[in-house]
Amino acid sequence: MRGKRITRRQFVGTTLKAGAVFYIVPRHVLGGPGYTPPSEVITRAVIGCGGMGMAGHVTENPEGEPPRTLAVCDVDRNHLERALKKAGRACQGYSDWRKVLERKDIDTIHIATPPHWHGLMCIAAAQAGFDVLGEKPVTHTIYEGRKLVEAIQRYGRIYKVNTFFRYGNCYQFGASRLLKKLVASGRLGRPLTVRITQPNGFNWKLKEWSGRPDLKPQPVPDVLDYDMWLGPAPYKPYHPHRVHASFRGYWDYDGGGLTDMGQHYLDPVQYFLGKDDTSPVEVSAVAPWPPHPDAVGLWERVTLRYADGDTLILVSGEWGRNDPPGLPFIEGPQGKVYDNYRTEPPGLFEGLDALPDPPPLLEFEDAVRTRQKAGLNEEVAHRSCTLVNLAAIAIRLCRPLRYDPLREQFIGDEEANRLVRVPMRAPWHL
């Protein structure tokens, strides 16, 4: 861990050397049953204190316990004040995230900003010596994701993306670890088709997070540093629908319901298919044409195919043709898996307990303590985010694309590759 917080061993040694000198300290400093000593607390700074930042990252610092949230940062003064009020004592507020990285008493950085900031902030945090928990999607572009991986590895940091379906239930389709054992057993055969579709229970939220093509410029509120909110994104005149939660509806910052929900839905699929170290080689989409250059719109389906023939089918159910109900979630030449563990032929899950378990998955703070990169490490997180970014590019171009997972470039398509690496607005750069 970073900083110079006193450990319990250091505290005890100091008191013994002091002889008759005694220190009166709060009970929690000594640890023991029901008490966590400060040396065992993983402290955090939270950058981005909007909906996700407040819901999942800014924690209260109760009296009588070691504080955990030591810094909060937001470019909206109202958001910052709410975060400071929630965290309470021992928490300092910032409007410039770069100042947060100067702190030496903080262990981890939680990044809950819009995605166009994720790559830059994560790389800078790694360079400054912090471990990072980032919101999904990992990065706004494939190139930023690769640079994030390189930075985490170069500086020996821990990274995890805050998506959890790999760790628990994959919606109504059962635990993803059980599905991983089923796929690895070979009982379904190969290649496999996985349908992440509206009839199978996946809500893509397209209409909820669509952009508006009719925005008229409005004055920037006094409480918002709009230039810093934009950061590396192209300058566009301010409108309230472009910022805060509805930013998801604009390609400059995110990719609508696809990128909001995609890493949640696709990461466990990548996991149980055994694709943590690769990406599809073909991607295509059915969507309205021409797409709006700024506002994210609707789409019908996206198909992603791996080199071995495994295929992912995404169907939104909010535009165009929907899949009929009753299609399997996973389908192979030898078997199918439907919801509620129903299989065809019956009994495919029987006896899986006798097969080897996949490696355990570590939660973020366990990984920080042990320095073990089990679970959603930086490479795995980048690969599942690549699925989302490939789908977004296919929707924007609406034609079949071929992709090289090693070079992380589209084959023979300059227009598509311009969306792999999108220039940043000066002075921001990687």
Indicate the pLDDT class of residue 1, thresholds 50, 70 and 90.
low
Inside any domain, residue 335: yes
Looking at the fold, whether 138 and 197 belong to one and the same domain comes out as no
| Mean pLDDT, residues 405-427 taken together | 98
Inside any domain, residue 166: no
Looking at the fold, whether 177 and 74 belong to one and the same domain comes out as no
Looking at the fold, whether 402 and 359 belong to one and the same domain comes out as yes
- Residue after which a domain boundary falls, among 142, 161, 180: 161
The whole-angstrom separation of Cα 96 and Cα 103 is 13
Domain count along the chain: 2
Looking at the fold, whether 213 and 105 belong to one and the same domain comes out as no
Instruction: Using only the alpha carbons of the chain, give its radius of gyration.
Output: 23
Q: Is 317 helix (H, G, I), strand (E, B) or coil?
A: coil
Lowest mean pLDDT segment, chosen from 156-170, 234-248, 401-415? 156-170
Looking at the fold, whether 298 and 390 belong to one and the same domain comes out as yes
The whole-angstrom separation of Cα 117 and Cα 135 is 11
Is residue 9 pLDDT above 50, yes or no? no
Looking at the fold, whether 151 and 214 belong to one and the same domain comes out as no
| Mean pLDDT, residues 306-318 taken together | 98
Q: Are the beta carbons of 299 and 278 closer than 8 angstroms?
A: no
Q: What's the chain's average pLDDT?
A: 91
- Residue after which a domain boundary falls, among 96, 129, 161: 161
Inside any domain, residue 428: no
CATH number for the domain spanning 91: value is 3.40.50.720
Q: Which domain holds residue 347?
A: 171-420
CA 47 to chain centre: 14
Q: Are the beta carbons of 231 and 280 closer than 8 angstroms?
A: no
Inside any domain, residue 319: yes
Looking at the fold, whether 139 and 180 belong to one and the same domain comes out as no
Give me the percent of the chain exceeding a pLDDT of 70: 89
The overall pTM is greater than 0.75: yes
C-alpha distances out from residue 105 to 160, 344, 351, 398, 399, Å = 21, 55, 50, 48, 50
If you search the block for the tokens 């009020």, which residue do you land on? 85
Q: Give the contacts of 419 (CB within 8 A, at least 6 positions apart).
A: 141, 392, 393, 396, 397
Strands (E), 27-184: 44-47, 69-73, 92-94, 108-111, 131-134, 159-161
Question: How would you class 104 by CB atoms within 10 Å of its CB: exposed for 0-12, middle for 13-18, buried for 19 or more?
Answer: exposed
pLDDT tens figures, 390-400:
999 999 999 99
Is residue 8 pLDDT above 70, yes or no? no
The whole-angstrom separation of Cα 2 and Cα 7 is 12
Strands, sheet with 131-134, edge to edge from the N-terminal-most edge strand: 92-94, 69-73, 44-47, 108-111, 131-134, 159-161
- Residue after which a domain boundary falls, among 139, 161, 183: 161
pLDDT at 168: 66
pLDDT tens figures, 320-345:
999 999 999 999 999 999 987 899 99
Indicate the pLDDT class of residue 40, thresholds 50, 70 and 90.
confident
The whole-angstrom separation of Cα 410 and Cα 405 is 9
Is residue 24 pLDDT above 80, yes or no? no
Indicate the pLDDT class of residue 37, thresholds 50, 70 and 90.
low
Which pair of structure tokens corresponds to residue 83?
Answer: 């975060």
Indicate the pLDDT class of residue 165, thresholds 50, 70 and 90.
confident
Looking at the fold, whether 150 and 217 belong to one and the same domain comes out as no
Is residue 124 pLDDT above 50, yes or no? yes
Is residue 272 pLDDT above 90, yes or no? yes
pLDDT at 275: 97
Inside any domain, residue 430: no
